[in-house]
Structure 1
Amino acid sequence: MSNLKSLAGQTAIYGLSSILGRSINFLLIMVYTAYLSKDDLGSFTGIYALIGFLNIVFTYGMETSFFRFSTGKNLDPEKVYSSTQTLLCLSSLILGSSIYLLAPSLAEWMDYPGQAYLFRWTALILGFDAILAIPFARLRLENKAFVFAGAKLINIFLNVGLNLLLIIFFPLWIESGVISDGFMGYRLDWGVEYILLANLIANGLIIPFVWWQAGFFKLSLDPEIVKPMWRYSFPLLFMGLAGVTNELVSRLLFEYLLPENFYPGLSSREAAGIFGANFKLAILMNLVIQAFKYAAEPFFFKKAVDPNSPALYAKVMHGFVIFTTVLMVAISVNLQWIGPLFLRSDGYEAGLFIVPTLLMGYLLLGVYFNLSIWFKITDKTSYSLWITLAGAVMSLAVIYVLVPKMGFLGASLSTLASYSLMVFICYFFGQKYYPIPYPTGKLITYLILGFALSYVGFYLSLESFALDFVVKNLLAILFLVLIIWIEKNDLLAFLFKKK
């Protein structure tokens, strides 16, 4: 049990910083929906879906490869760190330069004529993200959770502060005469431009601090390290591409597949803005999964040599599903007041009904991350490609068939269908090559019951707000009490036993 408590403690640190940071960052949705047009929100949704996709190309699985080769290959960790970071710096320079030069073509292709600068800034953001990936990974590997969390929070505060300055305060100061129109080249007609610019500046400023905390590296490319790392990570690149396709393709393609006037009074890009804003509400689940991943990935690799690791991995999955399923229900039953709190303009509530489906999709992504440990520690990473490729095909098929017919719901179902298929395939092959004693029947029951209760609570509507709030949250509490009663023996062991 001490291993589980250690993992829980690390996850709590990452989780606290993620929740605090993302909550602060999440407030930007209130700013965007209040101060920017739905067209700008549509642009934000599409461009950041592209950034999410290209982030995978820029890092090509090297974070996971770094954990694997720093812990289980009898190699000098300093040489692994320097070689990995040097490789990423070189590749980021090449890839970033290519996108920078192709920016005018990208702008035309994505229907942003005359705005090539957006994609030049995108190239710089991607390059900065890539050269920060391994230093952040090293902080996680060395259990420097507080340093990692502090660096992330500094980055978020910088980003949020710049967003507020550029989107809210500058226009107010211009209107009141504090500064003149055109101050420092400021343009009142820009919207999504300032979102990208704030991100770019914040990422650039954080680089020296993170490199200093993680340790500076020597420029070196040791073939004995780089070649096997590349063979290990190459399938992970395609796994990442397929995986991010599952997560982001609905936001990237939505406006291009939705028929005009599908939603009366909205253009396709404005509808994409509504979809993207509601997608952001599901980030409450995603940040928990991200915090868990930060702590669990190095933990899983360090425990791989332990003969009792399969049982340990099963317990981790068990606890993860319980916590996230309860969280899904708790968020879903409160969406009727959470939604308007963050989506500050009229019209955004039209997509609120898809949020429980998106929450379930993110939850299954977390389940898949737990399951995927089998091919990472057995070096069978080629399976990752085929599993996530199947998920990507499923996602694309559902999007192309259902978005033109069902709009928001069709796009959200693509996420759920894709991750469901990936979980099934990964579980099947995992039990064949690296059996882990998951309590499968119990976990499936929790997932199905939790998903059903999420929609029951969402659609339940009582006349009094106070009564509605109490009844819906009693539903979530009863679900938690049921799980505690079922799990009482294991829960007592976790809380009070040292081993």
Structure 2
Amino acid sequence: MSQLKKLAGQTAIYGLSSILGRSINFLLIIVYTAYLDKEALGAFTGIYALIGFLNIVFTYGMETAFFRFSTGKNLNPDQVYHNSQSLLLTSTLFLGSSIYLLAPWLAETMNYPGQAYLFKWTALILSFDALLAIPFAKLRLENRAMAFAGAKLINILLNVVFNLLLIVWIPVWINEGVLQADFLGFQSDWGVEYILLSNLLANGLIIPYVWWRAGFFRFSLEKEIIRPMWKYSLPLLFMGLAGVTNELVSRLLFEYILPENYFQGMTSREAAGIFGANFKLAILMNLVIQAFKYAAEPFFFRQSSDKNSPQLYAKVMHVFIIFCSLLMVAISVNLFWIGPTFLKGEDYAMGFFIVPVLLMGYLLLGVYFNLSIWFKITDKTSYSFWITFIGALVSVVVIVGLVPMWGFMGGALSTLACYLVMTVTCFWYGQKFYPIPYQTVKGGFYLLLAFGMSYVGFFWETDNQVIDFFVKNCCILIFLGIVIFMERGHLKALFSRNH
């Protein structure tokens, strides 16, 4: 129990920074939907899907390799830090330069003619992200959660300030005559450009601070360190590529697969903007999973040598499923006010009905992350590629097959289907190579119950808003009551132990 409390404490710190920071960042969607047109939102969705995909290429699994080799018995953690950061610096210079030079081709290929500068900025954003990856991982490994959280918050606050300055404040000051119309070359017709520029400035400014907090590295490329790390991380690269395909392919491909005039009076890129904005409503689930991942990955590696670690991993999984299932119900039944609060402008409500599906997809992603510990600590990372490749294949097949017929729901189901397949496959192989006593039946029941209660609450609607609010939120209490009843034995033992 003490180990679970320690993990919960670390997750709470990471979660506070992630939820607070991302909540601040999430408020930008209000700015985007209020001040930018749907065309700009569609461009934002597509380009950031590309960034998410290329981020995996730039870091190629070195964060996980850093954890694995830093916690081993044969290597000095400082040596691992110097070598992994040096390797990433070298590869980033090559990859970043390549993307920069390919910017004109990318602009034409992705239907942004004459806007090659967007992809040059993208190359710089990717490079800065890669140079921050290992220092942030080092802070996590050393249990310096407060330093990690502080740096993340500074980065997010800088991004928000630059967004507000470029999208809201400067245009207002120009209209009021406080600034000249050509102030610093300001372009009134820019939209996604200022989103990218804000991200670029925020990431670039935070690098010296993060490097200082983590400890500056000494350039070193030692074959006896780099070679085994590369061998370990290479399958994780392909896993990451397949995994990010699963997560982002629907947003990346949506506008290109959706038939023109599927939604009357709306272009495919505008529809993609609505689709991407509704993904943002599932962000709370993603925040919890991200916070859990920050704390759990180094925790799992540190506990791997304990003979009781399988039982501990099972307990962590069970608590994770209960908490995230409850969160899914709470968000889904309150979408009637959460959605309009954060997505300003017309037409965004037409996509609210896909949010419970997206929440379940993200929840299964979290379950998969729990399950994936078996191939990380047994060094069977090659399985990760095949599992995520299968998920990516399912994702592409579903989105190509269902988006032309079902629009938004087709895209959402591609996310759910791929994570479901990955979860089942990972569980099957994990139990063969590294058996963990998960409460599979009970956990599966909670997931199905939560999904059902989410849509019962979502679709409940009468003419009385007060009754609607009460009935919808009763779904949360019903779910919680069933969980307490089914976990009464564990709760009784827990309280008796505390007394």
Question: When the two structures are superposed, what TM-score results if normalisation uses the length of structure 1?
Answer: 0.99
Shift of 1:465: 1.6
Cross-structure match for 1:169: 169
1:146-157 correspondence to structure 2 within 5 Å: 146-157=146-157
Residue identity opposite 2:206 in structure 1: I
Cross-structure match for 1:118: 118
In structure 2, what is the Cα distance between the partners aligned to 1:81 and 1:30? 40
Cross-structure match for 2:384: 384
In structure 2, what is the Cα distance between the partners aligned to 1:147 and 1:495? 34
Shift of 1:138: 0.5
In structure 1, what is the Cα distance between the partners aligned to 2:492 and 2:243? 37
Is 1:453 aligned to 2:436, yes or no?
no
Residues 389-432 of structure 1, C-alpha deviation per residue, up to 9 Å, x if partnerless?
00000000001101111110000000000000000100000000
Cross-structure match for 1:262: 262
Residue identity opposite 1:96 in structure 2: G
In structure 1, what is the Cα distance between the partners aligned to 2:199 and 2:242? 25
Is 1:198 aligned to 2:212, yes or no?
no
In structure 2, what is the Cα distance between the partners aligned to 1:101 and 1:340? 41
Shift of 1:485: 2.0
Residue identity opposite 2:325 in structure 1: T
Cross-structure match for 1:329: 329
Cross-structure match for 2:207: 207
Cross-structure match for 1:94: 94
In structure 1, what is the Cα distance between the partners aligned to 2:339 and 2:458? 11
Residues 349-384 of structure 1, C-alpha deviation per residue, up to 9 Å, x if partnerless?
011100000000000000000000000000000000
Cross-structure match for 2:132: 132
Change (3 A) 1:496 1:43: farther
Shift of 1:470: 1.2
Shift of 1:72: 2.1
Residue identity opposite 2:288 in structure 1: V
Cross-structure match for 1:81: 81
In structure 1, what is the Cα distance between the partners aligned to 2:170 and 2:359? 36
Residue identity opposite 2:16 in structure 1: L
Secondary structure at 1:336 match in 2: helix
Residue identity opposite 1:23 in structure 2: S
Secondary structure at 1:391 match in 2: helix
Change (3 A) 1:494 1:68: farther
| Structure 2 unmatched ranges of 5 or more | none
In structure 1, what is the Cα distance between the partners aligned to 2:257 and 2:497? 55
Secondary structure at 1:225 match in 2: helix
Cross-structure match for 1:64: 64
- Greater Cα offset, 480-489 or 330-339: 480-489
Residues 8-34 of structure 1, C-alpha deviation per residue, up to 9 Å, x if partnerless?
010011111111111101100000000
Cross-structure match for 2:315: 315
| Structure 1 unmatched ranges of 5 or more | none
Shift of 1:481: 1.7
Residue identity opposite 1:413 in structure 2: L
Is 1:45 aligned to 2:45, yes or no?
yes
In structure 2, what is the Cα distance between the partners aligned to 1:39 and 1:491? 52
Residues 118-168 of structure 1, C-alpha deviation per residue, up to 9 Å, x if partnerless?
000000000000010000001000000011011000000000011001000
Is 1:411 aligned to 2:375, yes or no?
no
Cross-structure match for 2:489: 489
In structure 1, what is the Cα distance between the partners aligned to 2:30 and 2:79? 45
Residue identity opposite 2:38 in structure 1: K
Shift of 1:496: 6.7
Q: Alpha carbon RMSD of aligned pairs, Å? A: 1.1
Change (3 A) 1:145 1:482: same
Residues 246-300 of structure 1, C-alpha deviation per residue, up to 9 Å, x if partnerless?
0000000000000000000100000000000001111110000000000000000
Cross-structure match for 1:359: 359
In structure 2, what is the Cα distance between the partners aligned to 1:15 and 1:474? 26
In structure 2, what is the Cα distance between the partners aligned to 1:485 and 1:168? 51
In structure 1, what is the Cα distance between the partners aligned to 2:395 and 2:66? 29
Change (3 A) 1:172 1:400: same
Secondary structure at 1:180 match in 2: coil
Identity between Structure 1 and Structure 2 (%): 70
Cross-structure match for 1:26: 26
Secondary structure at 1:259 match in 2: coil
Residue identity opposite 2:6 in structure 1: S
Residue identity opposite 1:486 in structure 2: M
Secondary structure at 2:27 match in 1: helix
In structure 2, what is the Cα distance between the partners aligned to 1:49 and 1:488? 44
Cross-structure match for 1:219: 219
In structure 1, what is the Cα distance between the partners aligned to 2:492 and 2:135? 38
- Greater Cα offset, 40-49 or 488-497: 488-497
In structure 2, what is the Cα distance between the partners aligned to 1:495 and 1:271? 51
Cross-structure match for 1:242: 242
Cross-structure match for 1:103: 103
In structure 2, what is the Cα distance between the partners aligned to 1:214 and 1:199? 22
In structure 2, what is the Cα distance between the partners aligned to 1:277 and 1:36? 12
Cross-structure match for 2:434: 434
Question: When the two structures are superposed, what TM-score results if normalisation uses the length of structure 2?
Answer: 0.99
Residue identity opposite 1:428 in structure 2: W
In structure 1, what is the Cα distance between the partners aligned to 2:231 and 2:237? 11
Shift of 1:462: 2.1
Residue identity opposite 1:198 in structure 2: S
Change (3 A) 1:433 1:94: same
Residue identity opposite 1:301 in structure 2: F
Shift of 1:493: 4.4
| Count of residue correspondences | 499
Residues 422-457 of structure 1, C-alpha deviation per residue, up to 9 Å, x if partnerless?
001000000000000000000000001100111111
Cross-structure match for 1:142: 142
Residue identity opposite 2:234 in structure 1: F
Shift of 1:497: 4.3
In structure 2, what is the Cα distance between the partners aligned to 1:179 and 1:173? 6
Residues 34-84 of structure 1, C-alpha deviation per residue, up to 9 Å, x if partnerless?
000000000000000000000000000000000000002420000000000
In structure 2, what is the Cα distance between the partners aligned to 1:193 and 1:359? 29
In structure 1, what is the Cα distance between the partners aligned to 2:497 and 2:247? 39
Residues 294-330 of structure 1, C-alpha deviation per residue, up to 9 Å, x if partnerless?
0000000000000000000000000000000000000
Which portions of structure 1, spanning 4 or more consecutive aligned residues, are displaced by more than 4 angstroms? 492-498
